[in-house]
Chain A
């Protein structure tokens, strides 16, 4: 079954700690995305990547970093510089055609200890 896998489902961060959220897809999609969702809110784009070894900042990239070394994988690191990291993080991918929708993983909920 093709899809997007995010892990872990729940993650806790201590003060001053960096944490990495995993996102893997087997849909052979070129584009991948990270969004942040706060309670009762919409989606805000953190980073996106259109191709391996390339990525662009979204609207709220400060305090986050990404890498795209493989087509299948797009991990997100929440650094200690992100002072309010508690949120629901969603990873997505899409094909290149204009009519291609995004496919989403089931999210990682990050909380501060």
Chain B
């Protein structure tokens, strides 16, 4: 069965420091991986995706993510955090198999960036 894990409920980082939000996945087949951000009382916004090719993908608002096939991980990163990055972040995988339109989400990680 396909699944996504975000091992940290919360990540705290100081403004200006690099940030990492962790995600591991389990899929049968080649994964389609996504990161989303959610601000309070809003829907999820798409940040970036990995489909194939370069293991480092760049996305919106200066975020990037590193795909590691051997560790089945897709960690979200940013070189210098902003207070405005404080939000809830979700990792997701699209089922590469028979149920192609189904997405599986991690439980979310709350990012707190302190001034």
Q: Which residue of A lies closest to B47 (CB)?
A: A101
> Does A77 touch B at the CB level, under 8 Å?
no
B69: min CB distance to chain A, Å = 16
Structural contact, A107 and B102, CB atoms closer than 8 A: no
Chain B residues lying within 8 Å of A30, measured Cβ to Cβ, are 101
Residues of A17-51 whose CB lies within 8 A of B:
30-31, 33, 41-43, 45, 48, 50
Structural contact, B49 and A101, CB atoms closer than 8 A: yes
Structural contact, A42 and B44, CB atoms closer than 8 A: no
> Does B28 touch A at the CB level, under 8 Å?
no
Structural contact, B42 and A107, CB atoms closer than 8 A: yes
Chain B residues lying within 8 Å of A13, measured Cβ to Cβ, are none
Structural contact, B42 and A99, CB atoms closer than 8 A: no
Q: Which residue of B lies closest to A4 (CB)?
A: B43
Residues of A69-108 whose CB lies within 8 A of B:
88, 90, 92, 94, 96, 98-99, 101-107
Q: Say whether, besides A98-B94, A99-B51, A42 and B43 are in contact (CB < 8 Å).
A: no
A102–B45 Cα distance when bound, in Å, is 9
Residues of B5-57 whose CB lies within 8 A of A:
32, 34, 36, 41-46, 49, 51
Q: Say whether, besides A90-B43, A107-B43, A109-B41, A102 and B51 are in contact (CB < 8 Å).
A: no
Structural contact, A42 and B46, CB atoms closer than 8 A: no
Chain A residues lying within 8 Å of B101, measured Cβ to Cβ, are 30-31, 48, 50, 94, 96
A77: min CB distance to chain B, Å = 20
Listed in ascending order, the chain B residues whose CB lies under 8 Å from chain A are 32, 34, 36, 41-46, 49, 51, 90, 92, 94, 96, 100-103, 105-108
Listed in ascending order, the chain A residues whose CB lies under 8 Å from chain B are 4, 6, 30-31, 33, 41-43, 45, 48, 50, 88, 90, 92, 94, 96, 98-99, 101-107, 109
Q: A42-B107, A45-B102, A99-B49 are in contact. List 16 more A-B contacts (CB 8 A).
A: A6-B43, A41-B107, A42-B106, A48-B101, A90-B43, A90-B44, A92-B43, A94-B103, A98-B32, A98-B94, A99-B32, A102-B44, A106-B42, A106-B43, A107-B41, A107-B42
